[in-house]
Amino acid sequence: MKKLFVSNKDESARMFKYDWMELFSKVHFSVPLFLYVPVVGIFLYLAFTNPEMGVLAVVGLFAAGAFSWTVAEYFLHRFVFHYEPTTDWGQRVHFLVHGVHHDYPNDSKRLVMPPPISVPLAFLFYFLFKYLMGPSLMEPFYAGFVAGYLCYDMLHYAVHHANWDIKWFMQLKAHHLKHHFKEPEKGFGVSTPLWDLIIGTDYKSDEKKSVAS
């Protein structure tokens, strides 16, 4: 990204000509909770009431789904949200999807994923997991995956607008804000820096390479 940021205030640019489109581009941070907590609850209920599934299997698949979200989060952020097309139309789409967040990172109405983006993605992953795993295994796994997404969205809002005096949270906040204000081509993990450390996009990777050479 050419610009590291434009504003550190709770403000943003107008994205759409029409007011109704502009309205749908903004979302209160609580909206994903209202949309997806019931989804998690429904799929957990289906899993626990499924006679083919034991409690340990449900818990294990739920945890696997939540862990899998961290993988999806990293690769979506790195290769989809940070993909920069060369065409004017592509650059416009890139700005709408993620570029505006880097120009106005503290805009409180554009920090969680808006339903016009999150709902199609939710259906995409639902049908993908159902095809790959079948309905029984998919139910607890999908519940965990959606729960992982909710943790991501809530943590993303918090690292921009909360100052909890908790060590792990302050480390996570520093990790993400460095991505915004110093090194946007590193630090793609939001809910965890795990995959940055494993894949080598953490902020210390260059230091490790220089020491090794």
Q: What residues contact residue 140 under an 8 Å CB cut-off, 6+ apart?
A: 43, 44, 47, 53, 57, 58, 59, 61, 62, 65
Tokens describing residue 53: 């599934």
- Contact between residue 31 and residue 124 where contact means Cβ atoms under 8 Å apart: no
> For 54-82, what is the mean pLDDT?
94
- Contact between residue 90 and residue 11 where contact means Cβ atoms under 8 Å apart: no
Query: What pTM does this model have?
Result: 0.86
- Contact between residue 191 and residue 148 where contact means Cβ atoms under 8 Å apart: yes
pLDDT tens profile 99-130: 677 777 777 777 888 888 899 999 999 999 99
Please give the pLDDT value at position 32: 94
Domain boundaries, the chain: 27-163
- Contact between residue 186 and residue 196 where contact means Cβ atoms under 8 Å apart: yes
pLDDT tens profile 160-180: 889 899 999 999 999 998 988
Per the prediction, the chain carries an average pLDDT of 85
Q: What residues contact residue 33 under an 8 Å CB cut-off, 6+ apart?
A: 150, 154
pLDDT tens profile 21-38: 777 677 888 999 999 999
